[in-house]
């Protein structure tokens, strides 16, 4: 698929331009997972493997901040952010409704950052039903808390150019000094172990109802986020392959049993 995501950023009838070859079976996925599990890396790898488009509401809001809002709901969301307010479920749902052409695209999608609540999940279900599109799965990338603390707690950020390092997996050439600009490396407050534990508690409290919602609907696929990115990708694709084979068998059984 084309990677400029113009339709996602602009909404309405915006065209993403010339399309790459379409996948034979478009993947339609929701991505879940707390900070530190490598969800962003997996989103990129999955998009390359499945030829789907990464639809991130975080990217959408960051784009609006830099380039200005281009649709009614986005303008309201940007105004709310400028007032320091949280963006309501209604506004987020409206933002996605303005971009339904992305959800019905034959290239498929990976939704990242939406839904975040059960209310948003139900709204997504209604939108997809109207488009005659079915969600394949909600992928929940999971990692034990101590491993998340280790991953995030080892991060160091350059105070001058904002380059990011990791003390074990990507250390600087000289201790506490940025390779690029020789600025000092610091640990951000939200990367300190005590802050990470609080963030994880908040994430689990807010996300558990959403995870349970997709489990009850038979869409949840739990994926261990341990190991290197390619290993996690293989694990994820195996889960998706099993999901699709099960769905195909169910469809055949239903057809054969129909009068």
Catalytic annotation, residues:
39, 116, 155, 188, 199
Residue 112, beta-bridge partner list: 31, 56
Q: What is the spatial distance between Cα 217 and Cα 236, in angstroms, rounded to a whole number? A: 19
Of the candidates 111, 84, 82, 83, the one whose C-alpha atom is nearest the C-alpha of residue 95 is 111
Please provide the DSSP assignment of 95-122 as one string: HHHTTHHHHS-TT-EEEES---SHHHHH
Q: What is the spatial distance between Cα 210 and Cα 75, in angstroms, rounded to a whole number? A: 27
Kindly calculate the radius of gyration of the chain based on its CA atoms and give it in whole angstroms. Answer: 20
Q: What is the spatial distance between Cα 95 and Cα 116, in angstroms, rounded to a whole number? A: 14
Task: Please check whether residue 10 is in contact with residue 71, taking contact to mean a CB–CB distance below 8 angstroms.
Answer: yes
Q: Classify each residue of 152-190 as buried b or exposed e, where b means 16 or more C-beta atoms within 10 Å of its C-beta.
A: bbbbbbbeeeeeebebeeeebeeeeebeeeebebeeeee
Q: What is the spatial distance between Cα 136 and Cα 28, in angstroms, rounded to a whole number? A: 5
């Amino acid at each position: 698929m084309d990677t400029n995501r113009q339709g996602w950023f602009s909404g309405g009838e915006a065209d993403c331009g010339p399309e790459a070859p379409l996948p034979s079976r478009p993947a339609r996925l929701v991505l879940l997972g707390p900070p530190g599990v490598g969800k962003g890396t997996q989103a990129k790898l999955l998009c390359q493997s499945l030829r789907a488009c990464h639809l991130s509401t975080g990217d959408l809001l960051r784009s609006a901040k830099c380039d200005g809002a281009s649709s009614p709901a986005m303008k309201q969301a940007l105004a709310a952010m400028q007032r320091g307010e949280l963006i309501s479920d209604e506004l987020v749902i409206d933002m996605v409704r303005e971009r339904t052409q992305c959800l019905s695209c034959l290239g498929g999608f990976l939704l990242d950052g939406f839904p975040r609540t059960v209310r948003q999940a139900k709204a997504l279900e209604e939108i997809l039903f109207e488009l005659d599109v079915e969600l394949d799965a909600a992928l929940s990338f999971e990692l034990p808390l101590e491993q998340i603390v280790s991953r995030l707690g080892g991060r160091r950020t350059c105070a001058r150019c904002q380059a990011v390092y990791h003390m074990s997996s990507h250390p600087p050439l000289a201790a506490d000094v940025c390779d690029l600009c020789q600025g000092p490396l610091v640990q951000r407050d939200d990367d300190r172990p005590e802050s990470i534990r609080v963030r994880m508690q908040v994430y689990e409290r807010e996300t558990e109802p959403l995870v349970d919602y997709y489990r009850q609907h038979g869409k949840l696929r739990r994926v261990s986020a341990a190991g290197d990115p390619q290993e996690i990708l293989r694990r994820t694709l195996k889960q998706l392959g099993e999901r699709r084979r099960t769905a195909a068998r169910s469809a055949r059984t239903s057809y054969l049993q129909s009068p």
